[in-house]
């Protein structure tokens, strides 16, 4: 085997090790998980915010051209929020700014992600999947109160 081929194999092998380490480190040490996706069920017919108890909320969000339902979401700081997200037309994005949350709203499926909101303030929701001519106006807002 040529020495350049050997070097290329060594570099590729080392990079695979680095990537594997990064994945395992994030999964186990930083506890970063991937959102779950389940088939659409008929109980999810309208967008709403449900209070489970004082610090636990469920948010059902329907994305469609070119808004979210509900568009303005509010709950108190320190809440654990289960976000259930779906779309009624095309694939939309659901990115929560300042929160490192980036979900995909898929027709026929429900994306679920649990998020803890510790800091009060306004968080914008942005569609980051191109979904038609009004895509850039597809926005929402989360208000975390004191």
Interacting residue ranges for ligand CUA, rule: CB under 6 A: 66, 92-93, 127, 129-131, 135, 138
- Give the shortest CB-35-to-ligand CUA separation in angstroms: 17
- Give the shortest CB-122-to-ligand CUA separation in angstroms: 20
Nearer to ligand CUA, 56 or 135 (CB): 135
Nearer to ligand CUA, 81 or 138 (CB): 138
Of the chain, the end-to-end C-alpha distance in Å amounts to: 66
- Give the shortest CB-12-to-ligand CUA separation in angstroms: 36
Asked if residues 75 and 49 have their Cβ atoms less than 8 Å apart, the reply is: yes
Nearer to ligand CUA, 44 or 66 (CB): 66
Rounded Cα distance between 79 and 25, Å, is: 26
Q: Nearest 10 degrees: CA dihedral of 76, 81, 86, 92? A: 70
Q: Is 36 helix (H, G, I), strand (E, B) or coil?
A: strand
């Amino acid at each position: 085997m040529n020495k350049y081929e050997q070097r290329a194999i060594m570099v590729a092998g080392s990079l695979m090790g680095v990537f594997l380490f990064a994945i395992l480190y994030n999964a186990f040490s930083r506890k970063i998980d991937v959102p779950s996706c389940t088939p659409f069920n008929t109980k999810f017919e309208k967008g709403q915010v449900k209070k489970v108890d004082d610090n636990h909320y469920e948010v059902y969000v329907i994305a469609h051209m070119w808004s979210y339902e509900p568009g303005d979401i509010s709950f108190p700081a320190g809440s654990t929020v289960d976000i259930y997200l779906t779309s009624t037309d095309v694939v939309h994005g659901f990115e929560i700014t300042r929160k490192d949350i980036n979900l995909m709203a898929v027709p026929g499926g429900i994306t679920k992600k649990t998020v803890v909101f510790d800091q009060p303030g306004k968080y914008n929701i942005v569609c980051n999947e191109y979904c038609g001519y009004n895509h850039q106006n597809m926005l929402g807002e989360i208000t975390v109160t004191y």
